[in-house]
Amino acid sequence: SLAIALVVPPGQLSMASGAGQAFEAMFDRLGVAWMTPVMCVLLIVGALATVITWILGPSRALFEVAREGYLPKFMARANSHGVPSRILFIQAGITSTLALAILFMPNISGAFWYLMAQSAIMYMTMYTLMFLAALKMRSRYPLRPRPFSVPGGTLGMGAVCVIGIISAVTAQLCGLIPPESVRSHGVGAGFLYSGMLLAVTGFFAAIPLWLVARRRRAQRREAEFLRSRRRTERISARSRS
């Protein structure tokens, strides 16, 4: 992004096609303007290739979570090829719904920037939780063997996690700042932009917390049922004896 901003004049920079503009400016200067469409085609091929990891990767993770009982049972089933197709359909529906943000933004560039910022903020939320979990697990189980250890012991682990958390939170705060294409439409458009980011992030962050609490309640009920059943069996055995 920084390289694109250095090549393309700020007044001409488009949020949605900045990469193509940067290649066009550089290839025109080098006298090989015909390379611009070639590079754009290669960008499209690369984007399609990353779709496999961006879509199937999270779906496989959710599939494992569903198999552990934290998600509804119908999400813990795969098709004949081992692909969690049901989760993929749900993921497609959620992504399509988020893409409707284009209807609420004042222009295409603002909508594109919103979707990029939304994905980045949610990603940074996940990384923040991962760093916090790493700190908790290291302090709770300091002697457990691990395939990889951060140099420096507990101090090194803490430094890496704190730096990671600060970086992730800083990126989230920067993502809340509306771009110029949104601010130019007034204060209300900026508040709508930031409000939508916070609302969507809060909604999706609350879902796993609710699922974990729901799973723990079910585990407590199951444990209480087993204890009650064992007490009943002991009483029955004593009465028979």
pTM of the model: 0.66
Q: Residue 132 has what pLDDT?
A: 92
Is residue 154 predicted with pLDDT exceeding 90? no
List C-alpha distances in Å: 177 to 20, 44, 114, 168, 199. 24, 28, 10, 15, 15
Q: Who's near 43: CB < 8 A, 6+ residues apart?
A: 19, 20
Q: Residue 164 has what pLDDT?
A: 93
pLDDT in tens, 183-207: 777 788 788 888 888 998 888 888 8
pLDDT in tens, 97-141: 877 777 776 667 777 778 888 888 988 988 998 899 988 888 888
Q: Residue 241 has what pLDDT?
A: 66
% of the chain with per-residue pLDDT over 70: 90
